[in-house]
Amino acid sequence: MAMATTEATTLTALLKEAAAAFPTRRAVAVPGRLELTHAALDALVDAAAARLAADAGVLPGHVVALSFPNTVENGSHGGGAAGSLSPNDPSDVALFLHTSGTTSRPKGVPLKQRNLAASVRNIRSVYRLAETDATVVVLPLFHVHGLLCALLSSLASGASVALPAAGRFSASTFWADMRASGATWYTAVPTIHQIILDRHASRPEAYPALRFIRSCSASLAPAILERLEAAFSAPVLEAYAMTEASHLMTSNPLPEDGPRKPGSVGRAVGQELAVLDEEGRLVAAGSPGEVCVRGDNVTAGYKGNPEANEAAFRELINRGGEKISPIEVDAVLLGLPGVAQAVSFGVPDDKYGEEINCAVIPRDGSALREEEVLAHCRRNLASFKVPKKVFITDDLPKTATGKIQRRIVAQHFVQPTSA
């Protein structure tokens, strides 16, 4: 049965359309334990909404907090609450998340039904998701990456998702789950890609034929992209996303849809995108600026934070007037064979205002030294971009989604100067 051709403007409607079009196809599975069809999942969502209304007095406009690992109980609540009790309006707030605080303190982001529906349509379109696709969710469902891209976009396409039996990502069971579910793709953050690569290098396993591998939520070094493609015989598509845009903003296309550029975030997907200067003017190609987006997927603003709504944020290190992209420095660091993970960050400096430092985790068996890292940076970076200090460590502070926080890394390694 074909999907409806009219454009649904709510997430609830998109999910209902998929359940009607593909009622008997698998929607959600826990390998070896449980399988739900799209019709069964739709009924479960409606039953959960009715139970919340009847037993807990939840009405439209109320906020319900979920505290679950990646389980069917979590997934069966994906943005459709109260859908069976009253029609959802595109302007209804369906989801409330906090940004992960990579560049500043977390801020509350209310996302409306129209925002989520637009993002799901964009994701489904650029990756050509269909009812024949399947994936394994390796990211927490409280994060917009796992929730919108892996789970909801799959369900709205009539496709299926598998949830790890442990409720979280495990490298030891990943490929077994992928094979069992007939996965055709997966999406993850760079840290997880590196874990999968490292395990495959030491304990190679059979893997299913994949249409593509997707990377998002942090910059993927070109060297890691090349290793992924070589190891798993699938194109790697890097994307650029943020909670404020209901996840997806740009993506490299599938091979049949255009060229992919390692290190690039690709093209805008379903929204307007421009690079502007501090005065809001378009900048010339090749000139630095701030990425700005506009579309139905973008939140109307942060909740209860007018200062953040007015302010502009850019993830750049300002060293004596020279603007340094930490992502560029990260990519160079990750190109050094002895480096497993790396992050660069700004620290206060009396002379330049801000100076660049970095922290690296060596690969197992590597006797990595600070001078070796600096020498590599000098060969591959302009002199003012070379870190002043290198911290060699066995751990880096991360969010619950595996994202490295530059702000917290700086606080962890750099002691405040005495008064």
What is the residue extent of each domain of the chain? 11-310, 317-413
Neighbours of 67 (CB within 10 A): 6
Q: How far is CA 53 from CA 82, 111, 197, in A?
A: 7, 21, 46
In degrees, rounded to 5, the angle at the alpha carbon of residue 382 between the alpha carbons of residues 336 and 249 is: 75
**336, 324 Cβ separation under 8 angstroms:** no
Residue 122: the pLDDT is 97
Q: Per-residue pLDDT for the chain (419 aa), expressed as one digit of tens each?
A: 555 545 789 999 999 999 999 999 999 999 888 999 999 999 999 988 888 888 888 888 888 888 888 888 776 657 444 444 567 899 999 999 988 554 556 788 999 999 999 999 999 999 999 999 999 999 999 889 999 999 999 999 999 999 988 788 999 999 999 999 999 999 999 999 999 999 999 999 999 999 999 999 888 999 999 999 999 999 999 999 999 999 999 999 999 999 988 888 999 999 989 887 765 667 888 888 888 888 899 988 888 776 665 453 347 687 877 778 787 898 899 999 999 999 999 999 888 888 999 999 999 888 899 999 999 999 999 999 999 999 999 998 876 666 777 778 888 888 654 44
Residue 313: the pLDDT is 38
Residue 419: the pLDDT is 41
Considering the entire predicted model, what is its pTM?
0.74
CATH code, residues 317-413: 3.30.300.30
11-310 under CATH 3.40.50.12780, yes or no: yes
Q: How far is CA 19 from CA 30, 41, 101, 154, 162, in A?
A: 19, 8, 35, 12, 17
* Length of the chain, in residues: 419
**184, 213 Cβ separation under 8 angstroms:** no
